[in-house]
């Protein structure tokens, strides 16, 4: 698939207001970033936004999601880099202050919706 990535499964553990960064992926076009949460402990709410590989601004929207939800995140990494490929990642944070540790199991970062493969638990 030209300019697209297949789904990649990963997990994150976050406490309190702690953040977690997904692995960097290369944006090769102007598509939105994508994330799907297979499971979030207690169905708590998570917020996410995109950053460049060096944590720079890419004009990202911020979205919120929980178990079973997918989100597309508008960002301008490719465009702001002169329409050239650029590495980005998603930063995740608890949308509320929760006691204990949240486990987030997710897949599908940074792919286009029309060619997205869905992953299972």
User: pLDDT tens for residues 109-120?
Assistant: 332 222 233 444
Q: Compare 18 and 34 and report the one with higher pLDDT.
A: 34
87-105: average pLDDT: 75
> 86-94 and 25-27 as β-strands: parallel, antiparallel, unpaired?
antiparallel
User: pLDDT tens for residues 1-10?
Assistant: 224 566 777 7
| Two structure tokens written together for 6 | 């297949």
pTM of whole model > 0.85?
no
* Domain annotation for the chain: domains and CATH numbers: 10-115 (2.60.120)
- Local structure of 80: helix, strand or coil: helix
* Count helices and strands in the chain by DSSP H and E runs: 1, 9
Q: What are the residues whose beta carbons fall under 8 Å from the beta carbon of 83, sequence distance 6 or more?
A: 30
């Amino acid at each position: 698939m030209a300019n697209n990535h297949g789904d990649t499964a990963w997990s994150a553990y976050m406490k309190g207001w702690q953040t977690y960064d997904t692995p960097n992926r290369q944006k090769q076009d102007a598509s939105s970033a994508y994330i799907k949460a297979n499971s979030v402990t207690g169905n708590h709410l998570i917020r996410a936004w995109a950053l460049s590989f060096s944590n720079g601004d890419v004009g990202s929207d911020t979205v919120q999601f929980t178990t079973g939800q997918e989100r597309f995140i508008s960002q301008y990494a490719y465009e702001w880099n002169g329409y050239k490929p650029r590495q980005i990642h998603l930063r995740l944070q608890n949308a509320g202050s929760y006691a204990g540790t949240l486990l987030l199991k997710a897949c599908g970062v940074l792919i286009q919706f029309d060619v997205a493969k869905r992953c299972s638990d």
